Structure 1
Amino acid sequence: MSRFFNSMRDGVGFDLILVGAAMLFLLALAGLPLVYNVLMSFQQVDMFTLGSLIRPFAGFTNYVAVVAQPEFWLVTKNTLIFVFASMAGQFVIGFALAIFFAQNFPGASTIRGLFLVSWVMPGLVVGALWSSILAGDFGVLNFLLRSVGLIEGTIFWKSDPNFALWAVVIANIWLGLAFNMLLLSVGLAAIPRDLYEAAELDGANAFQRFWTITLPMMRSTIGAVMSLGLIGTLQQFDLFPALTEGGPANTSTVAGYWAWQMSFQLYDFAKGATISVMMFVLVLFASVVYVRSTRHEVRG
């Protein structure tokens, strides 16, 4: 015991206590809920057995039932559109802004800081803001589109089946734009300026410098941005109740919001847990692919 206190006084072993405390914290707040959710997806769960760990075993019945739901393929299509459209918009615009603010001009840092406001705002606040912007009768977006002659009538972004999902996509792109710009700006700052100067002396134009220097040097950063973007987009929830509530007729319902509807509107907790497990497996697969690709890159 005295040896333990002496090592603590000397600082040896204190790092192990910090790591152990962090692991216990993650286990309590992430590990146990995850295990509980996975167990629930293989059980028959109702309001009376929700708080119990011992429930009738259902095997893969819940997974089969979820796939057999009439709205399963519509929700799957909506989820794919929402994820890929959001990631593409956030990445392309974020990359363009990162390159723009990498230039030296007065006020660049201040303006870039203003973009970060959207990142720190709660999702429900962003949803309320875009709910006003996308309003059919008095929304700013319809006013701007009519002003430049792109539309003549009124688009009901939140209630039209053809536009409801895209309304959430637009809001989500705006919400995640600053995060993409910030990470990509860090990657750009790590590229040696000498490479651009040498390429410019060799006669390379701006596109050639971007294609041969910027993209190859930022491969790992881009991979991290895309992986984090996938996880963040799949976890997005707040915008849907604030904008469309999954409607009309499930045309803007994605997997995460569908899992919430199953659990807390229909009280089918087993199917809600099953949908969540399916999403977790997808995110885990994407994360493993990214980690393996970066590991090969480091070894190479």
Structure 2
Amino acid sequence: MRNGLSTFWDGRGFDLLLVGIPLAFLIAISGSALVYNVVMSFQEVGMFTLGSFVRPFAGLKNYAEVLSDPQTWPILGNTAIFVVGSLSGQFIVGFALALFFGLKFPGSTYLRGLFLVSWVMPGLVTGALWSWLLAGDFGVVNFFLRSLGIINENIFWRSDPAFALWSVVIANIWFGTSFNMILLSVGLASIPEDLYEAASLDGANVFQRFFTITLPMMRSTIGALLSLGLIFTLQQFDLFAALTDGGPNNASNVAQYWAWQLSFREYDFARGATVSVMMIIVVIAAALFYVRSTRHEVRG
């Protein structure tokens, strides 16, 4: 008891209290919702049983139905394409911008700040903006593509099954590039300039310095960034609601949007919870990878 009081009064206990309060809040709010969702995935829950806590136990029936549904695998394929396409585009463009602004030319700080507009903008606003840009009849993107001679006829980005998913990928790349740029800029700033100077004296060119110094030194930053990007991408909902609504004919539908459709359009809350639990498993795996990527930095 005396040791506990001394720990509190010397400041360490107060630090634990500051950490414990938000942790308890997260467990009470987010944890209870997570547990409720998992429990619901093992029950039969429909429109008329949602308000009752007395529900038939379904076991793995919901998971079997979801995995045997002919829509599942195309939607999971769309989800994989959306995640890989979004992460690749955000990382490549974000890294290029981080290297560009690392040159520190006049006005670079202010110009870099303008790129943050895409990140702070609400998802629905971003979706509405790109809905206008990608409009098939009068869209700005089609206008520029025709002006450059790349296309002869308008592309109906949001209603053509061949382009609907990619229209959301393009919007999401624009949405998340600034976040990638900022984190990668921080990682680049942490690399000592002495390493580049020594490599230059040894005759290493720009590409050799990039692959032997920059990428190895930013390994943990890149791992953490991709992990966070995966989590954010799997949570993306607003862009699908604003651009394609998962259509046409599920051509742009992904797991997170399908879970919402199952629950609030078809009122099959059990199957919606089941799809959500499958996604939660992927998100937890990404979170564990993120923790592993940053562990040695914390130790350092």
Q: TM-score range by the shorter chain?
A: over 0.9
In 2, Cα distance between equivalents of 1:125 and 1:298: 37
TM-score of the two chains, using structure 1 as the length reference: 0.94
**1:33 corresponds to:** 33
Cα distance change on mapping 1:203 and 1:144 into 2, 3 Å:
same
In 2, Cα distance between equivalents of 1:59 and 1:266: 21
Following superposition of structure 1 onto structure 2, how do residues 171-190 of structure 1 map, counting pairs within 5 Å? 171-190=171-190
Deviation of residue 48 (structure 1)?
2.6
In 2, Cα distance between equivalents of 1:119 and 1:206: 30
**2:140 corresponds to:** 140
- Does the CA-based 8 Å contact 2:158-2:167 persist in structure 1? yes
**2:217 corresponds to:** 217
Deviation of residue 256 (structure 1)?
0.3
In 1, Cα distance between equivalents of 2:109 and 2:293: 33
Aligned residue identity for 2:53: L
**1:82 corresponds to:** 82
Moved more, 148-157 or 68-77: 68-77
> CA offsets, 1:26-70, max 9 Å, x none?
012210100000000000112232133332110000001111112
SS state at 1:13 partner: helix
Deviation of residue 299 (structure 1)?
8.7
In 1, Cα distance between equivalents of 2:27 and 2:289: 24
- Does the CA-based 8 Å contact 2:158-2:243 persist in structure 1? yes
Aligned residue identity for 1:88: S
Following superposition of structure 1 onto structure 2, how do residues 14-29 of structure 1 map, counting pairs within 5 Å? 14-29=14-29
Deviation of residue 15 (structure 1)?
2.4
Uncovered stretches (5+) of structure 1, i.e. residues with no partner: none
**2:98 corresponds to:** 98
Aligned residue identity for 1:25: F
Uncovered stretches (5+) of structure 2, i.e. residues with no partner: none
SS state at 2:51 partner: coil
In 1, Cα distance between equivalents of 2:162 and 2:65: 28
Deviation of residue 252 (structure 1)?
0.2
**1:153 corresponds to:** 153
Cα distance change on mapping 1:196 and 1:44 into 2, 3 Å:
same
**2:291 corresponds to:** 291
2:241 is the counterpart of 1:241 = yes
In 1, Cα distance between equivalents of 2:299 and 2:17: 32
Moved more, 142-151 or 22-31: 22-31
> CA offsets, 1:160-216, max 9 Å, x none?
000000000000000000000010000000000010111111111100000000000
Q: Give the root-mean-square deviation of aligned CA atoms.
A: 2.3
Aligned residue identity for 1:49: T
In 1, Cα distance between equivalents of 2:30 and 2:10: 33
> CA offsets, 1:250-296, max 9 Å, x none?
00000000000000000000000000000011121233244345558
Cα distance change on mapping 1:179 and 1:151 into 2, 3 Å:
same
In 1, Cα distance between equivalents of 2:24 and 2:103: 45
SS state at 2:267 partner: coil
In 2, Cα distance between equivalents of 1:261 and 1:285: 25
SS state at 1:16 partner: helix
Question: Percent identity of the aligned residues?
Answer: 68
Following superposition of structure 1 onto structure 2, how do residues 64-79 of structure 1 map, counting pairs within 5 Å? 64-79=64-79
In 2, Cα distance between equivalents of 1:87 and 1:243: 19
In 1, Cα distance between equivalents of 2:211 and 2:78: 33
Aligned residue identity for 1:92: I
Deviation of residue 13 (structure 1)?
2.9
> CA offsets, 1:131-169, max 9 Å, x none?
000000110000000010000011000000000000000
SS state at 2:75 partner: helix
**1:124 corresponds to:** 124
Cα distance change on mapping 1:2 and 1:271 into 2, 3 Å:
same
In 2, Cα distance between equivalents of 1:12 and 1:227: 31
In 1, Cα distance between equivalents of 2:12 and 2:209: 49
